[in-house]
Amino acid sequence: MKTAFAQTYTVTVKNEHKRLDLFLAEVSGIARSQIQRAIREGLVKVDDKVVLKPNYRLKNNQSVFFTPLPPEESKLEPEDIPLDILFEDEHIIVVNKPSGLVVHPAPGHFTGTLVHALLNHCHDLSGIGGVKRPGIVHRLDKDTSGVLLVAKHDKAHLDLSEQFKNRIIQKQYLCVVLGQPNQTWGEVNFPIGRHPTNRKKFSIHTKTPREALTLWRLREGYKYCSLLLCLPKTGRTHQIRVHLTAIGHPIIGDPLYLKKSRLGKIEDKKVRLILKQTPRLMLHAWRISFIHPISGKEMQFEAPIPDDMKKLIQEIKKASFEAV
């Protein structure tokens, strides 16, 4: 969406008496803060008269002529990092993020992130919040692999954010966990918040609980492990990791929530060694479904199970068969 072009809107009865900045934010999909800047810089006319006040109240049938500000260049430098692109158009991009790639710059990771890679790849970004950058709608932990949805402009970002808020977007994860559940499906609805003593962790035992719900289904059971399909209905940090740990089935390779002492109790030496040598968190964002923010079309994308997860499953299967 090329928001640098001027646009004209007609005020209808339902928008009569609405603030000018709020009206333009709703009809254009551009961040309200950017609308206010444009108004103060004389880029908005109502019935051919420049209006400089964002709180100007509109009347029915007025014409609003709006020239958006061009997005500022991002302060981040684009980096030539390979991307596995599942889908792309002028509004969104869907990527298959590899394990080990940080999504957004943060302390300790100011370069080499997915955002840096997207800045290098996407040449049609029209701005998120007035800055030429990709709109990260949701995030995956550094060690989690899989499908990730990104917006290219404010309108798409706002729409997708609302879909997440209203639980329209559905995500499915695959993970290899320790042990075998005693049933084939279930749900975990423990509230989650910051761990009371370890700031890197989250917990169901917290002073700041927030609603969290995860549905799970058993895909395959092995002698000492299981492959689970998880459907988080809320989006709390570390939600799947914390919830599965809470029901006694932490994810293999989880450096925060899987206690080494539990691996030490596995009787089969070969399986114990395989699990101890697992190189990363065995959690994969497998599928995502959503409504396209512009076309309204229902969309679903799937990120193939990565090779390291396939290898682990094969090794566990083989070891389990040999132990019988």
Tokens of 321: 């068969």
pLDDT at position 324 is 42
pLDDT in tens, 243-286: 999 999 999 999 999 998 999 899 888 899 999 999 899 999 99
Query: Which helix or strand (DSSP H or E) is residue 177 part of?
Result: strand 170-178
* Percent of residues in the chain assigned helix, strand, coil, to nearest 5: 25, 30, 45
Whole-Å CA distances, 209 to 83, 187, 192, 258, 300 = 36, 18, 5, 22, 32
> Is 141 considered catalytic here?
yes
pLDDT at position 173 is 98
Query: Which helix or strand (DSSP H or E) is residue 172 part of?
Result: strand 170-178
pLDDT at position 2 is 42
**Confidence (pTM):** 0.80
In sequence order, the β-bridge partners of residue 135 are 151
Q: Which domains does the chain have, with CATH numbers?
A: 7-66 (3.10.290.10), 72-166 (3.30.2350.10), 170-290+298-323 (3.30.2350.10)
Positions in the chain whose pLDDT score sits under 70:
1-5, 71-74, 126-132, 321-324
pLDDT in tens, 227-237: 999 999 999 99
pLDDT in tens, 118-157: 999 988 776 666 566 788 888 899 999 999 999 998 889 8
Query: Which helix or strand (DSSP H or E) is residue 155 part of?
Result: helix 154-165
3-state secondary structure of 75: coil
Q: Nearest 5°: phi and psi at 15? A: -105, 5
pLDDT at position 129 is 63
* Active-site residue, selected from the candidate residues 21, 141, 143, 159: 141
Angle value at C-alpha 102, between 215 and 110, nearest 5 degrees: 145
